[in-house]
Amino acid sequence: MLEIKCPYCGKRSQNEFAYGGDATIKRPKLNTEVSDEEWDTFVYYRKNPRGDHLELWQHISGCRQWFKAKRNTATHEIIETYELSSNKEEHS
Amino acid sequence: MKKYSVFSLINNAFSYHQNWDVAWRDPEPKKEYEVIIIGGGGHGLATAYYLAKNFNIRNVAILEKGWIGGGNVGRNTTILRSNYMHNANNLFYEKGMQMWRDLSQELNYNVMYSPRGILNLAHSDAQMNTYSRRGNSMRLNGIDAKLLNREDVKKMIPFADFSSNCRFPIFGGLFQSSGGTARHDAVAWGYARGADDHGIDIIQNCEVTGFDVSNGKIKGVQTSRGNIKAKKIGLCVAGSTSLLAEKLNMTLPIEAHVLQACVSEPIKPLLDQVVTFGAGHFYCSQSDKGEMVMGGDLDGYNSYAQRGNLPTIQHVLTEGVALFPNLSRLKMLRTWGGIMDMSMDTSPIIDKTHIDGLYLNCGWCYGGFKATPVSGLTFAHTIAKDEVHELNAPFRLDRFNTGHLIDEKGIGTKTWIS
Ligand SMILES: Cc1cc2nc3c(=O)[nH]c(=O)nc-3n(C[C@H](O)[C@H](O)[C@H](O)COP(=O)(O)OP(=O)(O)OC[C@H]3O[C@@H](n4cnc5c(N)ncnc54)[C@H](O)[C@@H]3O)c2cc1C
Ligand SMILES: [Zn+2]
């Protein structure tokens, strides 16, 4: 069982959370020319690392807030979680 | 290779079965091969087998970082089916179903193919409509599909919950009678023995750690057992695909996710078919040993750990008990997990790459076991001829750029939902 620390509510069981995927993918900027390649990369292509992974989670059965987690995909260890607004994006 | 037969069985009985030939050799890697296949799972072994058998390419090595059959080919729930919606999948997997029918004879190895039928249950009128649509799509492609009503289903699985206060009543189901199961280990071992018989080197405990590429052409691999040269290299590493692709500076439309399964203690024959619960994600069949083999959802977050967490098992078994209340009395024997190469449209990728001589076989999601023979057949073709076979022509990598996705599930890129 994963124990995930919601930045707002504290540590809760994984059952209360929904996964949102890789948090490092960036949507191409609005109102700029976007090439097909940029768009396809944004929609489909993933780094998919073995090791630290920055990802989105939602405390769906709790406060319903989205937040970021740094989690190791090989060990499942959750290294830290923080609010979406924080700009800690070490790996991108 | 000495053929297995009733005579060889009797013959070997005289020496108390101490003198059987080894099924495959344990050779030292050579300095150079014509083709190297990375990954000794079902797909890698089958590819090597068909390279030799259909194209007479025998100077081939299979490099496996662990032992053959230790990956997903030995971890799956062995369901075989071709009950898809889209033509590309229908035709591809149905060719696979045809190959399963005589695979034991082909390999002279009993893969215990059991066409016991697969029953997808429907729990609403809307679901019955979708199933009739899917069934029609299958029939148009010459695949056996039958829409069953509640009474038909009741005859097949009378012990399912048909009570009046059931939360998800069974409305009927879609039945593919040629669907079923096969013994996963035997598939790996049968292909390994066949490949070895054709002179192919199966090299275990040999991890590929890097590639030699020059002027856009593949030259060889670096491995834990030294550098090996090759003219052509095929990647069949399932859940590890992104890790090797990264060494080639390739990013792929793939995420790694863990899928778990479990088996119960063995019981007397109860369930004749493979049955899937339609109001969630639960599937079940009974092994020849009597264990109930069960699986369902992915754990739902990127993972390279070949183990999952209990909430998913609990969730899957809750659905199991909702469908078959008598399961609640069973003890579970074990659970395990495997790493799925989840592609962004849940369909596989079998293709050449932008690197000359490098070929890609991946994106099998949780359904690649049934594709083992046809994947080997078409990937061998792609490697030998340097062009795709008509059956894998729709499964090219560039579909994520041209928009020709084969989105069987219609879930978009949230692969972990499927
Ligand atoms: C729990 C579970 C249930 C499933 N149920 C079904 C089902 O009912 N029906 C179905 O059709 N499919 C099912 N699948 C999916 C199916 O098992 C896979 O899609 C399929 O086995 C993948 O192909 P493979 O056999 O070649 O993979 P694998 O057996 O995983 O082979 C890949 C091999 O590559 C090796 N490798 C990785 N990296 C390297 C490296 N760097 N160097 C050398 N070797 C390397 C690995 O060690 C591994 O042996 C299930 C999977 C799981 C985990
Ligand atoms: Zn919260």
Cβ B41 under 6 angstroms from ligand 1: yes
Reported as a pLDDT band with limits 50, 70 and 90, residue B409 is confident
The beta-strand segments (E) located in B26-83 are 32-38, 60-63, 79-80
Q: How far is B328 from chain A (nearest CA, A)?
A: 21
* Contact predicate B121/B278, CB 8 Å: yes
What is residue B123's predicted lDDT score, i.e. its pLDDT?
98
Rounded mean pLDDT, B404-409: 91
pLDDT for A85 equals: 86
CA-wise closest residue to B285 among B398, B403, B177, B181? B181
Instruction: Specify the length of chain B in residues.
Output: 418
CATH 3.90.650.10 fits A3-26+38-83, yes or no: no
Q: Which of B311, B376, B324 is nearest to B350 (CA)?
A: B376
Q: Which atom of ligand 1 is nearest to the CA of B42?
A: 25
pLDDT over 60 (residue A54): yes
| Residue A92: per-residue pLDDT | 43
Count other C-beta atoms under 10 Å from residue B375's C-beta: 29
Q: Which structure tokens are listed for B156?
A: 């097949």
SS (HEC) of B118-129: EEEEECCHHHHH
Q: Which residue type, as a one-letter code, is found at position B62? A: I
∠ Cα A67 A71 A77 (to 5°): 125
Distance (Å, rounded) from C-alpha B346 to C-alpha B338? 17
How far, in Å, from the CA of B152 to the mean position of ligand 1?
35
Backbone angles phi, psi at B93, to 5 degrees: -70, -30
Task: Check: CB of residue B29 under 8 Å from CB of residue B61.
Answer: yes
Q: Which two tokens stand for residue B312?
A: 């998913």
Mutate which of B37, B67, B76, B120 to test ligand 1's pocket (most atoms within 8 Å of Cβ)? B76
- What pLDDT does residue A87 have? 72
* B contacts of A74 (beta carbons < 8 Å): 304-305
Task: Read off the pTM.
Answer: 0.97
Interface list for B 226-265 with A (CB within 8 A) = 242-243, 246, 251-256
**B313 and B281 Cβ atoms separated by less than 8 Å:** no
pLDDT tens profile B282-334? 999 999 999 999 999 999 999 999 999 999 999 999 999 999 999 999 999 99
- Beta-sheet strands, E only, within B199-354: 201-203, 208-214, 217-223, 226-235, 254-264, 274-277, 282-286, 292-302, 332-343, 349-352
pLDDT at B378 over 60: yes
B393 burial level (CB within 10 Å; 0-12, 13-18, 19+): middle
Contact between residue B344 and residue B254 where contact means Cβ atoms under 8 Å apart: yes
Q: In terms of CA atoms, which chain A residue is nearest residue B342?
A: A48
Q: How far is B238 from chain A (nearest CA, A)?
A: 13
CB atoms within 10 A of CB B189: 21
* B226, HSE (Cβ side, Cα atoms, 13 Å): 8
Sign of CA dihedral B100, B105, B111, B115: positive
Q: Where are the domains of chain A?
A: 3-26+38-83
Q: Which of B387, B372, B381, B392 is nearest to B40 (CA)?
A: B372
Q: Which of B357, B349, B354, B350 is nearest to B212 (CA)?
A: B357
- Averaged pLDDT score across all residues of chain B: 97
Of residues A91 and B24, more confidence is placed in B24
Distance CA B345, CA B347 (A): 5
Cα B309 to ligand 2 centroid, rounded to whole Å: 21
pLDDT band (50, 70, 90) for residue A90: low
B125-165, pLDDT tens digit by residue?
999 999 999 999 999 999 999 999 999 999 999 999 999 99
Tokens of B72: 């997903």
Is B253 within 8 Å of A13 when comparing Cβ atoms? no
Residue B250: pLDDT band by 50, 70, 90 thresholds?
Answer: very high
* CB atoms inside a 10 Å sphere around CB B204: 18
The arithmetic mean of pLDDT across residues A6-29, rounded, is 96
| 8 Å CB contact of A76 and B305 | yes
* Cα gap B286→B76, rounded to integer Å: 14
d(CA B197, CA B189): 12
In chain B, % of residues over pLDDT 70: 100
Taking CA–CA distances from B313, the nearest residue in chain A reads A1
- Mean pLDDT calculated for residue range B243-259: 98
- Give the one of A1, A2, A46 whose C-beta lies nearest to B255's C-beta: A46
Residue B30 backbone phi and psi in degrees, to 5: -80, 170
Q: What is the pLDDT of residues B338-365, one digit of tens each?
A: 999 999 999 999 999 999 999 999 999 9
Å from CA of B81 to ligand 1 middle: 17
Q: Identify the pLDDT of residue A89.
A: 61
Cβ pairs A/B, distance under 8 A = 69
Kindly provide the ipTM of the predicted complex, given to two decimals: 0.95
Three-class SS string for B130-196? Answer: HHHHHHHHHHHCCCCCEEEEHHHHHHHCCCCCCCCCCCCCCCEEEEECCCEECCHHHHHHHHHHHHH
pLDDT number for residue B411: 81
pLDDT tens readout for residues B188-239:
999 999 999 999 999 999 999 999 999 999 999 999 999 999 999 999 999 9
Q: Which residues of B touch A36 (CB under 8 A)?
A: 401
Give CA angle at A75 (A70, A79), nearest 5°: 25
